Amino acid sequence: MLYNTLLPLIVFMFCLSLFLVHRVSVLEGDIRSLQRDIILQLNQPRSDRVNGKMDRMSQTREHVFSEDIKLSAFQTAHSSLRTFLRRVKREQNSDGGLTSILALTARGNSEPEIRGNTALIPWTISVQQGNAISLRGNKIVVQEDGYYLVFGQVLFEGPNKVMGHVIQKWSSMKSGTSTQLLHCLQEMSAAGSSNTCHTAGIAQLRQGDELELVIPDRPNAIITMDAESTFFGLIQMK
């Protein structure tokens, strides 16, 4: 990304700012020293102050002029750094900003919803970042065309020999039709046992596509509704 490419330049500008801040601190010390010298000169007899007056004034003017140049350079560099960082942030935002993520977990205080011969898991948002993915009802909705990492896991319990789930896509191009995007099957080892069924893959999705995780042909499936066990989500690939 552009930000990573320009990171060395940002570090250099930051180091330059620190160096110039140090020089300003040195300038402040020199000014305080100069003030002390002036007070000492004022306290000396007039005859002593007259000797070397022109040389001292000349040196003072040169010193102040030199430090003014350093202070001006610091102010210019600091202003340039702030402008540069604002431009990087603006370009990063115009490029879509951070990768969009939507992670859902099973709603622990709820039971699976039964729709005909299919069980549906009620979801709650665990992590959401960016604007390319959203949740509508119990479905994930894609807001930007692109490639996405799709993942889902369900922890099953019970005596059934084979359990599993399907992640299906409702296409924005074909209203009312769905296709099977990913599926997972897991053999249960024994009665009363539990096992997870996990699936993940990369898919090209279009704006308006909807994704749904369903458990077909198992309306009485026993599911562990823990956030660590049963989850579903999408990560935008940049």
CA nearest to 208, candidates 182, 168, 174: 174
Per-residue pLDDT at 43: 61
Question: Are the beta carbons of 85 and 52 closer than 8 angstroms?
Answer: no
The pTM assigned to this predicted structure is 0.58
Position 190 pLDDT exceeds 60:
yes
Helix, strand, coil percentages, rounded to 5, for the chain: 35, 35, 25
Per-residue pLDDT at 99: 86
Domain boundaries, the chain: 2-94, 101-236
Position 233 pLDDT exceeds 60:
yes
| Overall average pLDDT of the 64-71 stretch | 50
Question: For the domain with range 101-236, which CATH number is right: 1.10.10.410, 2.160.10.10, 1.10.540.10, 2.60.120.40?
Answer: 2.60.120.40
Position 7 pLDDT exceeds 90:
no
Element (H, E) at 96: none
pLDDT digits (tens, 9 = 90+) for 46-56: 444 445 544 55
The average confidence (pLDDT) of the chain is 75
